[in-house]
Structure 1
């Protein structure tokens, strides 16, 4: 039986080996689309099939961009077998529009000073095989001058408003004389300082850029460089400021104060209209030397001539501010609501008598954001020097004002801390931020130091290489950001490099250590800088 099974198996193998397969199995390779990319190269690629292009909104000339697929085929030379389809969706007026384009290249235009957005679907098809490849695109413009340093540069009476956009990126855009670049008109030649104020509103075009000139204070939309109102209408007839020097603003509420060369002040709210500052009877001869506005609208003033600290409450509850931003005529009837007054408050320890009987007065060098919890919200930090010894004053105000205080106590508390002999003088620059409580930054020639008020220790953070003339954080008031976030840890450093101004941007860690820096040049003399921080999301 075993022998029979072996013979049958052998015969079967022999028959199979002799079989001649006459079938037609002529195989051909199928053409495939390979390496599909696009020119220009997309800014962002998501999951390999979704692409995004973002462009700075054109200012003077419309932008035209041509998009073209780049690919190869596995089996075919030439592209006669290819079919191209671009389905372009966009909004025109109040209507949604969809166009189909059957060409290899697609050209889109982006008009000047207008937000543009396209949603595009692309299909590439081999007409012989029916095989297709698909891609999705988003093309849009972004507002210019968002996330930008505004730089007031140039000699006196020949100032220019320049910008550095996206300074912490690899493609920062420097625009020298940005206003002329935008409108082809010279302006701000007599400007002295810059202020920026954001908004807690979630609508567009609410930020304000204030450019203080000797005879005006422009009230502008920073991301379009357009006047929100004509400057000549912002001051009441009869005020006629002629020698405005500088100003301060509230980052969130669009309140602002400007000061003239006589030390007198004018204040405005969200409407942009300015009102003459009032003062208590005993300080009518005040001369403002330094001024700071806190998060709550509490204003601290140092009068160098009369050696007095004073306060002023600037907030939206003041009746003279309750006028629409869109109104262009100065509201004369609002003057009667301008009732707040500049009021002095006592600060002890501003004068000392030494053992030899000589009297020493404290020179206040700087006034800025508070570095304690209370002074940060409503108050200020003052830094001064007396008899070569440096002092810090923590000014903390009651949120309810003088009415909340008892008869025998002041609503404003001032704590004086002795820092030691640190060599501060009139050329020392200072800066504070909510990111580093109980600490402040100061300069010595070309170097920036971080000083801890609690431990009395200083740490060198950065050497700019030349004399530093100004320090300014991107933001020093609370917005939608977390206190430790980048706007509060990114420092603008203005440097005088042999008569040529440089803007250094220094990024610090949450712990206050140096992380990175960027240097921007070409400005000439720099008078002032301000950062257009977004305090809420753009819709």
Structure 2
């Protein structure tokens, strides 16, 4: 009887405890969460398109979950589908640090297939519901305009891209090398590009700067310190000099270049003769004797014929110390290709190749079957223009322009010569001028309109390279005409985010001495160089 009383007492205490503790817990059913409107696959262009997702969340207890529902938290993550690290050793990247319901973020990732992960967390219970999806990032670097820029006051080297996805879809992509291993270097100088038509093409793309020149992977654009130009192609001693100018001499078979030539910021020139045993010649060629130390410096320009393949087998350099043009020629004797030689004057020529002037600028064109223009300046600051015909295998003084009726020409630092008409374009501040060399008349290009805070940073014509012209001729006439459009790069200094660069394309009217704007793109840094990435 005593035992029964004890049992009844304990039962009563337990029952009371349950009643007393009822207010400490919120007994309710666990919500079932469903996630809708998340695609299985999202296809985007890297560094150009945005990854956009607007999911619909349904709770069995709360109904549709909206953005402002404080009981829920949202997260998006991404990782490589093939495995491996994303950035800085991490296997995944948080796409949505703000934890918002909807996602809209730049696809700033290298071309690859990724797994996206979206999760909803009920903060009251800690229960998480998730779903996955594929993100296919394609390369914005396959074909289009490579836009080399200097970013900010420090002039960080940055490459943007105007990606040609199709004839109907042409869109900008920004800072495309940042996720691909490109080193942090400053002061961009130019892009070196050499496409081939060999059975196993090995297109060459270089990004040149004052702190190093790097070769890009022809397919992915990936690179790193090991791809320094001094290590992979030209054998340049490990000094402080860096390649700042690059050009090729065309071969007669149109499949590949005859030779690749470059100039460093130390004023040294190097030659790489292709289809011959060995790599580049290890010694500078700006010397009077093979293999000896350089005896003079050359300017950062190399003139060649840009006419049909095999039209010219020579190149022209400029000796800045002795103020004279120097020649390089393809020959049967290696020695002749490993040393620059003074160009001999001919009786009755328009000018002497030993000019006694400073070289301001030099540009290769197709005009007159391969004319190289050189802008020279005498000790008094007066400028003139020489035209040197590089067709065949010689150097012919073809034209000389003095006493130019060109306002502010002596102040200009940016120039571009047309390959179809005898036109020179030059820029001063935010003004662009067209000078007709045939009539010695200058026309301000008033329909290239820049603001008071803008300056021109680049003038250029991008001639498609000769070795791929046969393939490119399968393109439309409109596409082929692009190489004769004036490209004008400008920068608005009042832009607060280092993205004040614009690039305009202007077809040239050879009858009315004028241009018209076809299209313009913006959002770049300070444009230094633009080259079209040709594909077959």
Q: Which category describes the TM-score, using the shorter chain as reference length? A: 0.5 to 0.7
List aligned pairs for 1:172-191, cutoff 5 A.
Answer: 172-176=171-175, 178-180=176-178, 182-183=179-180, 185=181, 187-190=183-186
TM-score by length of 1: 0.57
Deviation at 1:430, TM superposition (A): 0.8
- Tell me which of 351, 355, 369 is aligned to 2:364: 369
The CA deviation at 1:418 is 2.4
Higher strand share: 1
Partner of 2:323: 307
**Alpha carbons of structure 1 residues 293 and 495: separation in structure 2 relative to 1, 3 Å:** same
Trace 1:60-209 onto structure 2 (pairs within 5 A).
113=111, 144-154=141-151, 159-166=156-163, 172-176=171-175, 178-180=176-178, 182-183=179-180, 185=181, 187-190=183-186, 192-201=188-197, 206-209=202-205
Task: Tell me, yes or no, if structure 1 residue 384 matches structure 2 residue 362.
Answer: no
- Contact 1:214/1:242, CA 8 A, preserved across alignment: no
Matches within 5 A, 1:175-254: 175-176=174-175, 178-180=176-178, 182-183=179-180, 185=181, 187-190=183-186, 192-201=188-197, 206-214=202-210, 216-227=212-223, 230-231=227-228, 233-234=231-232, 239-244=237-242, 246-250=244-248, 253=256
1:515 to 2:517 alignment: yes
Question: Per the alignment, do residues 395 and 256 of structure 1 end up closer, same or farther by CA in structure 2, a change over 3 Å counting?
Answer: same
**What stretches of structure 1 of length at least 5 have no aligned partner?**
1-38, 41-52, 67-110, 116-138, 320-335, 352-359, 402-410
- Report the alpha carbon displacement of residue 208 of structure 1 after superposing the two structures with TM: 1.9
Deviations for 1:356-392, whole angstroms, at most 9, x for unmatched residues? xxxx96443210024632433xxx1112344565422
- CA change 1:152–1:394 in 2 (3 A) is same
CA root-mean-square deviation: 4.6
Change (3 A) 1:300 1:187: same
User: Structure 1 residues 394, 201: closer, same or farther in 2, change over 3 A?
Assistant: same
- Give the 3 Å change call, closer, same or farther, for CA 392–259 of structure 1 in structure 2: same
1:113-512 superposed matches below 5 A:
113=111, 144-154=141-151, 159-166=156-163, 172-176=171-175, 178-180=176-178, 182-183=179-180, 185=181, 187-190=183-186, 192-201=188-197, 206-214=202-210, 216-227=212-223, 230-231=227-228, 233-234=231-232, 239-244=237-242, 246-250=244-248, 253=256, 256-268=260-272, 273-275=279-281, 276-279=283-286, 281=288, 284-294=294-304, 295=306, 296=312, 298-313=314-329, 339-346=337-344, 362-370=357-365, 372-376=367-371, 380-386=372-378, 390-397=383-390, 399-401=392-394, 412-422=396-406, 423-425=408-410, 427-434=412-419, 436-461=420-445, 462-465=448-451, 466-475=454-463, 477-478=465-466, 479-480=468-469, 481=472, 485-498=480-493, 502-509=501-508, 511=510
TM-score, with structure 2 as normaliser: 0.57
Give CA deviations for 1:260-312 in whole Å, capped at 9, x if unaligned: 33311223356995433324528952211242242345322122221111122
Alpha carbons of 1:235 and 1:371: their partners in 2 closer, same or farther (altered >3 Å)? closer
Deviation at 1:55, TM superposition (A): 6.1
What secondary structure does 1:226 align onto?
A: coil
* Displacement of 1:259: 2.4
Deviation at 1:244, TM superposition (A): 1.5
Q: In structure 1, how many angstroms separate the alpha carbons of the residues matched to 2:410 and 2:42?
A: 47
Residues 215 and 240 in structure 1, CA contact (< 8 A), matched pair in contact too = no
Which is greater in Rg? 1
Query: Which residue pairs with 2:531 in the alignment?
Result: 531
In the superposition, relative to structure 1, how do residues 509 and 197 fare at CA in structure 2: closer, same or farther (>3 Å)? Answer: same
Q: Go from structure 1 to structure 2 and tell me whether the alpha carbon gap of 1:205 and 1:58 turns closer, same or farther (over 3 Å shift).
A: farther
User: Secondary structure of 1:515's partner?
Assistant: coil
Secondary structure (helix, strand or coil) at the match of 1:425 reads: helix
CA shift in 2, pair 1:63/1:517, >3 Å: closer
Aligned 8 A contact 2:189 2:244 in 1? yes
**SS of 1:463 mapped into structure 2:** coil
Q: Is the 8 A contact 1:150 1:529 kept in 2?
A: yes
- Partner secondary structure for residue 340 of structure 2: strand
2:191 alignment partner, SS class: strand
Question: Structure 2 vs 1, CA of residues 186 and 460 (structure 1 numbering), >3 Å: closer, same or farther?
Answer: same
| 1:103-161 deviations in Å (ceiling 9; x for gaps) | xxxxxxxx97369xxxxxxxxxxxxxxxxxxxxxxx99676351123323225876232
Structure 1 contact 215–241 (Cα < 8 Å) conserved:
no
Deviation at 1:508, TM superposition (A): 0.8
Change (3 A) 1:268 1:59: farther
Count of residues in Structure 1 that have an aligned counterpart in Structure 2: 376
* Inter-CA distance 458–169: structure 2 relative to 1 (3 Å threshold): farther
For 2:235 and 2:388, locate their aligned partners in 1 and report how far apart those are by CA, in whole Å.
Answer: 36
Structure 2 distance, partners of 1:157, 1:393, is: 36
> Aligned equivalents of 1:160 and 1:504: distance in 2?
17
Q: Cα 1:191–1:257, aligned 2, differ >3 Å: closer, same or farther?
A: farther
